[in-house]
Structure 1
Amino acid sequence: MEITRTEILRRDWPGPSAVLALLKPITWFPPMWAYACGVISSGQPLSAAFIAAALGVLLAGPLLCGTSQAVNDWFDRHVDAINEPDRVIPSGRMPGRWGLYIAILMSLLSMAVASLLGPLVFIAALVGLALAWGYSAPPFRFKQNGWIGNAAVGLSYETLPWITAATAMTGLMPANPILLVGLLYGIGAHGILTLNDFKSIRGDSEMKISTLPVLHGAQAAARIACIVMALPQLTVVGLLAYWSLPYHALAVGGLLTVQMVCMRRFLGDPVGRAVWYSAVGVGLYVTGMMVTAFGLRYAALPPSLG
């Protein structure tokens, strides 16, 4: 049967659905949410900087996070062929080296948009891109170790967008309370990232990727994830109370209490309930982030903690 030129082009170029699958829109939520928290916590009126806020959300989600997903899928294509062969690259829907080309193009586009938001945001975007590439690409490949890799993602998904947003809204480095809260929620996100590793224990073991479940076993890794998620939130509760925000402290404490109840069920079957707890626990976690952001917005905070 004769093959037409159109059919050849379709084989050589990825379709729109394949590009979207590579960029994984469902993963854009955490950094976009963190950026929104940073906007809220800055205390600036949204109407006065709507364009900056909108560009920042675009930068944090579709651009920087989308880039990280493309980079990760390209350099993980051999692991995915074992764990998730239906993913866009191992399944062949993303032909040739297009996964790599899209990652590079998205990196350049991210830098272009970041440059519109000022030098501090541009520097933050470069840090985010460095973490995105370093997480998946050799020679660094931070994801080879669950402690280092999850820390890099947590900081780039939560801390960096939060601080970047506050910077974009004011043109200045954020006050210390905002920096501290952004850092704490980034640390807690380390535990969230560990939840994603339970589904790929077999493939990670075969490819010698030392995630926490591979390093310490499923039960110990689940305990670590829960502790790492809970302790930063407990610290935030204490800080909110210290900053004379008792109602916000009570709300975040209540959300943490529900999480801890869910954690007990998760610990009973970490592998089987990781996806369930990720859906339930993470929703409560990010709700606490927004409650904290509104507390910082309306509190009379000093510029430093001293």
Structure 2
Amino acid sequence: MTPADKPSITFDQPAASVRLPDLKVCIELLKPVTWFAAIWAFMCGVVSSGAPLAARWPELVLGMVLAGPMVCGTSQAVNDWFDRHVDAINEPDRPIPSGRMPGRWGLYIAIIWSGASLLVALPLGPWGVGATMFALAAAWGYSAPPFRFKMNGWWGNAAVALCYEGVPWFTGAAVMRNALPSPHILIIAALYSAGAHGIMTLNDFKSIEGDLKIGVRSLPAQLGVLRASIVACIIMAVPQVCVIEFMIGWHHPLAATLIGVSLLVQLFLMRRLLEKPRERAPWYNATGTTLYVLGMLVSAFALAATGV
């Protein structure tokens, strides 16, 4: 695509006309609905650590705030600013393309929230600060030049999956024990993080037109809707098979059975998804993805039970 082919959409306003953003619009920019995934993964890390919650409740509360409103919120602000031209095509009602977020305030909020996230992480010690720095770097790298990982669905979805699942899980376990999590915890967190790559692919179905026009090579744009949905299903299923095998090997038969049953139901739901991938992607996220994250919690309890 040549520069002349790209849409000429301008969001900057003359300095004299720029107003302060409305608080409601700022919250909308941070997308509270997206915070659940990171908070859930953090809680799975907390549970898997086996640490007594009563003695570490301040870290628990602070970690949930950090994982959701702060770091996840920052990633949403960063993404919306650098994706404002794509959103003007796909979702023009979002705060920035709609003009409800004035001037360059989308960028300013992303910067301010990044600094605030680091300040919130300080009481969590070196493990919390280190994980936060990594997650923020990945969030900016995903959306912002020169890296802009999201331009390729393979790399971009991997970055998001890692920061939404693996990093929060690691952080929860590390902060509660104030130590590097055990290999068992790292393996399970990594597997569920890998599987989340498929969930991210399903989320890309809604923006195919804008991705193709702007040149974002999401997996649906690269492979087409059907092939991308097949790849997403495989990526979601295979790590769960590995989790089941590890649970059996680590003598957690109940956890292996529960996750196995969940996976069988997911496979049935995937079959329906593949009949109409684009139309049913939101439906699958409400059903199959819910089963996926419940399996995460089952695994976390199993790890906690043996104190690994």
- The TM-score bracket by the shorter chain reads over 0.9
Structure-to-structure mapping, 1:86-101, within 5 angstroms: 86-101=93-108
- Counterpart position of 2:42: 35
Selected match of 1:52 from 59, 82, 102? 59
The one-letter amino acid of 1:123's match is G
- Give secondary structure in 2 for the equivalent of 1:140: coil
Superposed structure 1 runs of 4+ greater than 4 Å apart = 8-11
SS in 2 for 1:284: helix
Quote the residue 2:239 is aligned against: 232
Contact 1:34 1:159 in 2 (8 A): yes
Residues of 2 paired with 1:190 and 1:214: CA distance? 16
> In the alignment, which residue of structure 1 is the partner of 2:182?
175
CA distance in 2, matches of 1:183, 1:67: 23
| Residue identity opposite 2:61 in structure 1 | A
- Residue equivalent to 2:7: none
Q: How does 1:2-151 map to 2 (within 5 A)?
A: 12-151=19-158
Q: CA deviation at 1:238?
A: 0.8
Alpha-carbon deviation of 1:152? 0.3
Q: Tell me the matched-pair count.
A: 294
Shift, 1:121, TM fit: 1.4
User: 2: distance between equivalents of 1:100 and 1:300?
Assistant: 43
Equivalent in the alignment of 1:207: 214
Residue matched to 1:293: 300
Deviation per CA, 1:88-143: give whole Å up to 9, x if none. 10001100000001001100010011111001211111000000000000010000
Task: State the Cα deviation string for residues 161-187 of structure 1 (Å, max 9, x = none).
Answer: 001111100110000000000000100
In structure 2, what is the equivalent of residue 267 of structure 1?
Answer: 274
In structure 2, what is the Cα distance between the partners aligned to 1:12 and 1:281?
Answer: 43
CA RMSD of aligned residues (A): 1.3
Matched to 1:126, the amino acid is M
Contact in 1 for aligned 2:135/2:163 (Cα 8 Å): yes
Shift of 1:275: 1.1
What aligned pairs does 1:209-224 form with structure 2 within 5 A after superposition?
Answer: 209-224=216-231
State the match for 2:283 in structure 1. Answer: 276
For the residue of structure 1 that corresponds to 2:97, the secondary structure is coil
Q: Is the 1:134–1:140 Cα contact (8 Å) retained in structure 2? A: yes
1:36-75 deviation digits (Å, cap 9, x = unpaired): 0000000000001000111011100000000000000000
Matched AA of 2:183: N
In the alignment, structure 2 segments of 5+ residues that lack a partner are 1-14
Alignment of 1:234-249 (within 5 A): 234-249=241-256
Match of 2:159 in 1: 152
Does structure 2 retain, via aligned residues, the 8 Å contact 1:136–1:142? yes
Q: Is the 8 A contact 1:167 1:173 kept in 2?
A: yes
Secondary structure class of the residue paired with 2:65: helix
Whether the 8 Å contact between 1:245 and 1:299 is mirrored in structure 2 is no
Counterpart amino acid of 1:125? T
Distance 1:300 1:116, change over 3 A: closer
Post-superposition Cα deviations, 1:226-248, rounded to whole Å, max 9, x if no partner, equal 00000001110111111111001
Q: Distance between the aligned counterparts of 2:22 and 2:303, measured in 1?
A: 44
Q: Tell whether the 8 Å contact from 1:44 to 1:169 is kept in structure 2 after alignment.
A: yes
**CA distance change for structure 1 residues 175 and 89 in 2, over 3 Å: closer, same or farther?**
same
More displaced stretch, 266-275 vs 32-41: 266-275
* Residue 9 of structure 1: how far off its partner (Å): 10
Deviation (angstroms), 1:278: 1.4
Local SS of the residue matching 1:196: helix
Whole-angstrom CA distance in 1 between matches of 2:164 and 2:85 = 25
Q: What's the CA shift for 1:10?
A: 10
**Aligned residue number for residue 3 of structure 1:** none
- Secondary structure, counterpart of 2:124 in structure 1: coil
Q: For 1:180 and 1:252, locate their aligned partners in 2 and report how far apart those are by CA, in whole Å.
A: 16
